[in-house]
Amino acid sequence: MKTGLKLIVSFLFISAALAALSPGYAQETPAKESITTGAETAAPKQTGEAASLEMLKSLQRLKESLKKRMGEKRQLIKNTASETEKAYLEAELKSLDEQLAGAVVDFERIATGVDVGLFAKKKAEHFNWKNELVSLVEPGIMELKRLTVKARHKTKLKDQLSSYESLVPVAVKARTRIETLIEKTDDPALKKELANLLPEYKGVESQIRNKLDLVRLQLEEIAREETSLIESSQKSIKNFFKTRGMFLLVAVLVCCGVILVLRFLYRNIIRLLPGYQSKYRPFHIRALELIFRILTLIITLLAIILVFYAFEDWVLLSLAIIFLMGIAWTAKHTLPKFLHQSRLMLNIGAVREGERIIYQGVPWLVKHINVYSILENPVLEMSLRIPIENLMDLTSRPFNPSEPWFPCRKNDWVILSDGTRGGVVSLTHETVELVQRGGARKSYLTPDFLAMTPLNLSVNFRLKESFGLTYNLQSEVTGTIPERLETYIREQIEAEGYAEDMLNLRVEFAQAGASSLDLVVIADFKGSQAPLYNRLRRAIQRWCVDAATKYEWEIPFPQLTVHKGE
């Protein structure tokens, strides 16, 4: 619909510009050119039979004059011996004969009061659609040619001026060389031959100079005419708004009226159909909307053509037909693309409403498909309005309600694969901005952010901290020591106010290392403690050391064993 309106508005603006620039934009009505005399135009207006009699008398005098002139031409043809003059006289005789035939037809039509051509036997004409099409677009093409006739003529004169200016030195050189040779030669025969050749090249030089002067004179005349361009433009604009400007205004009003009426009818009809209030429109609603858009475009264009036809403005009508031909030619190449878009609008294409697609590296819910489609991301809390062309190379799929739409939300804390930890303060499909502890901010392009597999701490998170004891505690490290350490850490968590957000705490034996027996402290916390992620890690290590001090557990240190060879 919007594309069709853009095409129509573009056509009206182009038509207005061409019509305003046209040198002859008064309303053109076809009429057969009849032969009349100067006395006929000067005579006062008469009515009825008196006026008809005056016109008949005038036509009678015209016929007699034409017959007399034709007789004179025939006599001249008999007397002349020149074939060229005879051909010229025959052409004049033919023109007089055509004028006489027109005068006879006009005389009979005025005398009878009817069109005598109705009684003539008409020849069967073979319909040629190419000729008919040319006749329709010819007024517009001729109008376009008239718009550029002065510019083309001026360019042609400038080319001729440049050509003649380059030929003058050549002609002068040829003449002077002949004169020089005449002066230097002592041979009478050669001097005579050169003397006979000299007038010819003098004539060539004179002819070129005359043509050069003529072209310069024509260019000066054009320059004088261009000085009154502003005045002529003002006059043209005034005349334009009296004629074709009014026609175009009527065409615009009719165009808007047709669109409003069709839109009103469509909205009232569509509400009566089942499925109109559905979240995702069914096929028959979509098909009806697509048909409405196409019909609106066609009917609007036809209405514009009918307006121009009613005003009998064949130039604007011709321009409208040329515009339609351009649309048809464009549609020939864009038809596959249009069919693809139509399938998408009917919700039977590769992308469908209510499904999930990946666009610019981010998952989106296809909310609405139309000329401009709507994509939404529930987590980003934003929507995109994109042209339907952007969906043509994509594919959507059904999704599970539990599927994530983005790995984090605003104000979540995340850890990236590069070790960066921060809270999300800005989140779009283009960039993600993190704030680190202390206030430093770091920005990522969204595709780069997703490629770094962010770990979201704001849901829940687990800490796993290792702590080693010496081998002299081997008998207790798998039993009593883990129990004592877990109890001690739990007491410290309660004492420091972390108990409400702790979900789970366990201390287990992890492994027997090279120089220590390792325990692991596993602590699960709610996402509200995500900003204190590193603080909790340090606290667990501190509590383990405090417990070792309290219970006199020996903490190992790296040892180097040296074996002495025998």
Instruction: Compute the Cα dihedral for 135, 139, 144, 148 and give only its sign.
Output: positive
Cα gap 396→46, rounded to integer Å: 80
Same fold, 49-114 and 131-237: no
What letter would DSSP give residue 553? P
Of residues 510 and 276, more confidently modeled: 510
Q: What is the pLDDT of residue 446?
A: 92
Cα gap 434→438, rounded to integer Å: 12
Q: Out of 10-24, 466-480, 489-503, which region has the weakest mean confidence (pLDDT)?
A: 10-24
Best CATH choice for the domain 49-114 from the list 1.20.58, 1.25.40, 1.10.287, 2.60.120: 1.20.58
What Cα–Cα distance (Å) separates residue 374 from each residue in 191, 274, 383, 462, 467?
A: 94, 23, 7, 39, 54
Q: Is the pTM of this model over 0.95?
A: no
Chain segment 74-126, per-residue pLDDT in tens: 888 888 878 888 888 888 888 888 888 888 887 887 787 766 666 665 555 56
What Cα–Cα distance (Å) separates residue 419 from each residue in 408, 416, 436, 485, 525?
A: 17, 5, 12, 30, 20
**Mean of the per-residue pLDDT values for the chain?**
80
Chain segment 404-444, per-residue pLDDT in tens: 999 999 999 999 998 999 999 999 989 999 999 989 999 99
Domain ranges of the chain: 2-26+243-345, 49-114, 131-237, 350-406, 413-456, 460-550
Tokens representing 290 are 């697509």
Q: Is the Cβ–Cβ distance between 434 and 423 less than 8 Å?
A: yes
Per CATH, which fold does 131-237 belong to? Helix Hairpins (1.10.287)
Please check the confidence at residue 48 and state whether its pLDDT lies above 90: no
- Residue closest to 207 by CA, chosen among 171, 175, 176: 171
- Residue closest to 308 by CA, chosen among 24, 31, 19: 19
Residues 175-202, mean pLDDT to the nearest whole number = 84
Q: What is the pLDDT of residue 127?
A: 57
Instruction: Compute the Cα dihedral for 120, 126, 127, 131 and give only its sign.
Output: negative
The domain at 350-406 falls in which architecture? Roll (2.30)
Q: Is the Cβ–Cβ distance between 154 and 219 less than 8 Å?
A: yes
Q: Tell me phi and psi for residue 154, to 5 degrees.
A: -65, -40
Residue 349's identity, in one-letter code, is: G
Residues 546-552, mean pLDDT to the nearest whole number = 93
Chain segment 368-408, per-residue pLDDT in tens: 888 899 999 999 888 999 999 999 889 999 999 889 999 99
What letter would DSSP give residue 80? -
Cβ-proximal residues to 421 (8 Å cutoff; 6+ apart), any chain:
413, 414, 415, 436, 437, 457, 533, 534
Best CATH choice for the domain 460-550 from the list 3.40.50.2300, 3.30.930.10, 3.30.300.330, 3.30.70.3040: 3.30.300.330
Q: Report helix angle 2-21 to 283-310, nearest 10.
A: 10
